Chain A
Amino acid sequence: MARTGPAERPLSPHLQIYKPSITMVMSILHRITGAALFFGTLLLVIALVALASGSSAYGTVQAIYGSIPGKLVLFGYSWALFHHMCGGIRHFVWDTGAGLERGTRMKLAWGTLFASLGLTVLAFVAYLAG
């Protein structure tokens, strides 16, 4: 009998087939942080519109953002921002055709993670000290 619909089996191997590698994890994280930052812009627009609306609106936003869950979200947002920025810089290197050798790309991937965590801690220390 002729097959009419698409095949039920997977046509190409997908994520679960592969052993996780740091380059793969950083690639996935780059997309996840990008998507998170997309929605994270709501945090910025809410704060700015509240600031433009007046002191009572801004006070409400300050109270929410300054609460423990609020601070946790902002901490996560700043890590996502730094991580996506560092991942972007890694992509600039790759765009030139450089850094694609096995050893170098592994170092770049780990470097992305350490740099983003370092920058997040730095910003947090600046927040506590400032």
Chain B
Amino acid sequence: MSQQSSSSLRTPLGRVRGLGAAKSGTDHFWKSRVTAVANVPLTIAFVVIMLMLSKRDYAGAVKLVGQPLVAILLLLFIGSATYHMRLGMQVIIEDYVHSEGKKVALLMLNTFFAIAVGLASAYAILKIGFAG
């Protein structure tokens, strides 16, 4: 028995109860729902901003994205959307890819992609915002 279990009053059964086969309980489901709820208003804001952007030239677009409210809404959308899509793609990979090696590699790629897209977008928005 490990140090932790001998110093804890919880039984081994009590520690794993409710956590299921993936050992993470409802954590994945809950994070997926929290980001989904956030995505509803943020998606509407995102579409409105994109429609406004489509009518502007370069200078106008920089000015629009540089506005604090627009930049903040875009940052929130990107944060919530990339987190949500990582969770969703994880489930798709786990459903269809059964070879353990391929699955682990794709799950890593999934995380890398989500973080790269999120960080690159955030950097671009902040650069535009702080330059103005």
Within 8 A of B (CB), among A1-57: 31, 34-35, 37-38, 41-42, 44-45, 48-49, 51-52, 55
Would A35 and B33 be within 8 Å (CB), given that A48-B125, A89-B40 are in contact?
A: no
Answer whether residue A59 sits at the interface, using C-beta atoms and an 8 A cutoff: yes
* Bound CA–CA A88/B80 (angstroms): 14
Complex contact A44–B121 (CB within 8 A): yes
Answer whether residue B47 sits at the interface, using C-beta atoms and an 8 A cutoff: yes
Complex contact B89–A45 (CB within 8 A): no
Size category, B interface: 20 to 34
Would A85 and B128 be within 8 Å (CB), given that A51-B65, A123-B51 are in contact?
A: no
B54 closest partner in A (C-beta): A127
Would A88 and B124 be within 8 Å (CB), given that A34-B85, A58-B58, A81-B47 are in contact?
A: no
Complex contact A49–B39 (CB within 8 A): no
Quick one: CB contact mask for B31-56 with A, threshold 8 Å, 1 for yes?
00100110110010001000110110
Answer whether residue B107 sits at the interface, using C-beta atoms and an 8 A cutoff: no
* Bound CA–CA A78/B123 (angstroms): 24
B120 closest partner in A (C-beta): A45
Answer whether residue B62 sits at the interface, using C-beta atoms and an 8 A cutoff: yes
A129 closest partner in B (C-beta): B51
Q: How far is the CB of A56 from chain B (nearest CB, A)?
A: 9
Q: Which residues of B are interface residues toward A (Cβ below 8 A)?
A: 33, 36-37, 39-40, 43, 47, 51-52, 54-55, 58-59, 61-62, 65, 74, 78, 81-82, 85, 88-89, 92, 113, 117, 120-121, 123-125, 127-128
